[in-house]
Structure 1
Amino acid sequence: MRYVIIGAGAVGGAIGGRLAQSGQDVVLVARGAQYEALREHGLVLRTPDGEHTHRPPVVDGPEALGELRADDVLVLCVKTQDSAAALAAWGPRPVAGGGTAAGRLPLVCAQNGVESERLALRTFQRVYAMCVWLPAEFVEPGVVRADGTPLTGILHLGRYPSGSDDTAHAVAADLAKSHFEAPVADDVMRWKYAKLLANLANAIEALSGVLTSEEGIALFRRARAEGEAVLGAAGIAYTSRDEEKSTRADKIRFEPFDGSPRGGGSSWQSLRRGAGSIEADYLNGEIALLGRLHGVPTPVNDVLQELADDAARRGRPAGALSVAELVAVVDARVGG
């Protein structure tokens, strides 16, 4: 199989780099400065076991790759707010032997949130969900840092909306050769909804910095409590924190390896880079949407979504507010 990594940023770069390192056939898809850096210098992947430079083929879009192969696996690693455009670009592409990518090829959604799978299933016939536990950071164009050890990440994988097949097991086997654990789960969305609850902290982290204070953790607990109430009202199952903890065990540890402080998660990185958009609409906003559908108030998530979106639009830097300032704003809006 050949892996076409659509969005070679932090997660895509780490997955693509590790797959290339284990001898898998990989194509990286990137844009702008990232595309130029990857094309000229290769992908530099910094990990606890060393710095690795990989030079798989790099393209800036489906037209540059031409006709797709029948054994291609498309791995969608863009932020969810960019999914619709990526799906529209890749879905109609011709595949050797006839047909299109949407009709013939497997598409793996290696993303936060739960919306991309729904978007993909409108056009793609073979959609797979992946729950991504993978601490990675886009350092600068061409350079990705992955802090996890001894595993780089744990990537639960299954058919969407449920089930598994030979393709899922084949992809999992390739990932298992590449510093990942990739359990095939018929109920993969249970894992993704649990990750959604954890990702409700992303907006807090983006707005006020990496969560270390009791005040910030308490705000996250308020957002998570709303999320749990919403999922309960909607009848949506998710894995417990005990199940997640036992699955991770000591398989992913964060160990400083180059003297650099650990940065924040994906939303923090979006503000730090001045990306102009953030995934809050598909994290806190997913809880807000379900809350409105099922009559459950979600005031904390409503405010966090609004503040994160506003910070991205205005180009505010990551961590511009103190935790105390953020809590004060939330309390003023919803009552503390």
Structure 2
Amino acid sequence: MTAPQVRKKVCIFGGGAIGGYIAGVLEKKGDCEVSVVARGKNLQAMRERGLTVSTPEGRFTVRPKVTDEPGELGLQDYVFITLKEHQFADALPQFGPLLGPQTAVIPPTTGIPYWFFHQMPGAFKGQQLAQVDPGGRIWSTIHPSRVIGAVFWIGAHLVAPGEVRQDGAKAGCPIGEPDGTRSERVQALSRLLTDAGLNARVRDNIRGDIWVKATNSLCWNPVATLAMARMQDMAATPECIALVQAMMEEADAMATRIGLDIPYPPRKRIETTLSAAEHKMSMLQDLELGRPLEIGAIETSLRAMQQLSGVSTPLIDGVLAIMKTRDLTYTQTAQTGQAGHP
């Protein structure tokens, strides 16, 4: 007799929009044992009513295991860290109980991740990014040998505690090993995600995909937030699109200097983003909800790449400076209860 196949254990660390969507579709498919580490109202809602996911294909509710104590979950096969970049380092002490010798970790990639140059061919192989990971805390806690790179093109929104909506095209999550190999662990993860409905191709140049995502965030997020606009509104303003493209070209000059292969040109990336007409960029969502913005993480990645490449980015620098002022004035307004910002 063939021994029964042991289901993989998958922990989603962070139950927001992206984490909630991934947990929801994996739990619905039922091929793995899913758990979610969450907190606050989101944790309470999922405990009481389950996790509800709405997609263009329909709406469903599932009940994965939910906790705010990772130690309750045991060792995992895969850990998706779907926290915001500014929350990641603070959560490091909580990851230990989840990590066994074979546990693979999928860290956040809003900006350039701490492991970016691990196993990258060329002059920068093994380069650690002190700006991104001061003192190497993340590197030593979650060594890059554990990492599977991933990029989330999901278009998800947390519409209420415990309730996620996914808009637009089929959710994408390209994944890949830092060394470009098609290991058993990355292929097994691809099968799990693909069977759950995601477009989770294994990529041999995951850094290129991460660069595309990071520059998308670097360029689209501040411009769309300053404009307070969805993608359909941005598309109606050619001057804004020209600004985003010029910023992407500045950023790509840094990538070219460090020897990175970029899989898609700026115009193609812009067209893809604009195709999700109703989508609202995550930074704008955070601003409207009064949450901290990820400007720091985005700018930190930018400064690290500027230093390594020796390429200046005056246009990006100017837009980020205005965005930081916007964030400051909005925060001050929210704290004093004054009107004046949406």
User: TM-score, structure 1 length as denominator?
Assistant: 0.79
Shift of the 264–41 alpha-carbon distance from structure 1 to 2, 3 Å rule, reads same
Residue 180 of structure 2 contacts residue 204 of structure 2 at CA under 8 Å; is this kept in 1?
Answer: yes
- Which segment drifts farther, 210-219 or 44-53? 210-219
Partner of 2:317: 302
Q: CA deviation at 1:176?
A: 0.8
Q: 1:293 matched to which residue of 2?
A: 308
Question: Contact (CA 8 Å) 1:112, 1:132: kept in 2 or not?
Answer: no
Deviations 1:49-91 (A, max 9, x none): 111111111112424x25x23x43110111112111223320x
Alpha-carbon separation, structure 1, partners of 2:94 and 2:323: 28
Counterpart of 1:220 (choices 240, 244, 247) is 244
Per-residue deviation, residues 148-199 of structure 1 (Å, max 9, x unmatched): 34x2x12111123543311111111011111111111232111111222222
Partner of 2:120: none
Partner of residue 332, structure 1? none
Change (3 A) 1:315 1:54: farther
Q: Which residue of 2 aligns with 1:175?
A: 193
Number of residue pairs matched? 297
What is the deviation of 1:13? 0.9
Aligned residue number for residue 93 of structure 2: 88
Pairing 1:141–2:156 present: no
Deviations 1:72-131 (A, max 9, x none): 3110111112111223320x22x6xxxxx1754110125322225455443224111101
Partner of 2:79: 74
Measured in 1, the distance between the counterparts of 2:291 and 2:224 equals 16
CA distance in 2 between partners of 1:169 and 1:116 (Å) = 23
Which residue of the partner structure matches residue 33 of structure 2?
Answer: 25
Q: Does structure 2 conserve the Cα–Cα contact (< 8 Å) formed by 1:109 and 1:117?
A: no
Match of 1:258 in 2: none
Distance in 1 (CA, whole Å) between partners of 2:68 and 2:16 is 13
Contact 1:285-1:302 at 8 Å conserved across structures: no
Q: Which of 230, 244, 254 is the matching residue for 1:230?
A: 254
Query: Which residue number in structure 1 is paired with residue 107 of structure 2?
Result: 109
The SS at the match of 2:262 is coil
* C-alpha distance in structure 1 between counterparts of 2:228 and 2:64, whole Å: 34
Alignment TM-score, normalising by the size of structure 2: 0.78
How far off is 1:321 after superposition?
A: 8.4
Contact 2:109 2:210 in 1 (8 A): no
Percent identity among equivalent residues?
Answer: 25
Aligned to 1:14: 21
Counterpart Cα distance in 1 of 2:275 and 2:245 = 23
Aligned CA distance change for structure 1 residues 163 and 282 (closer, same or farther; 3 Å): farther
d(CA) in 2 for partners of 1:266 and 1:117? 23
Q: In structure 1, the residue corresponding to 2:36 is in which secondary structure?
A: strand
Structure 2 spans left out of the alignment, 5+ residues: 1-7, 117-132, 334-339
Find the aligned partners of 1:117 and 1:36 in 2 and give their Cα distance: 34
What residue is the counterpart of 2:291 in the other structure?
275
Structure 2 counterpart of 1:98 = none
Shift of 1:145: 0.5
Contact 2:155 / 2:279 at 8 angstroms: preserved in 1? Answer: no
The answer for unaligned runs of 5 or more in structure 1 is: 96-100, 256-261, 323-336
Check 1:161–1:207 CA distance in 2 against 1; reply closer, same or farther (3 A cut).
farther
User: Offset of 1:279 from its aligned partner?
Assistant: 2.1
SS at match of 1:231: helix
- Provide the C-alpha distance between the structure 2 equivalents of 1:214 and 1:116, rounded to a whole number of angstroms: 35
Instruction: Verify: 1:164 aligned to 2:177, yes or no.
Output: no
The answer on whether the counterparts of 1:35 and 1:59 sit within 8 Å (CA) in structure 2 is yes
Matched with 2:123 is: none
Cα pair 1:193 1:237 within 8 Å, conserved: no
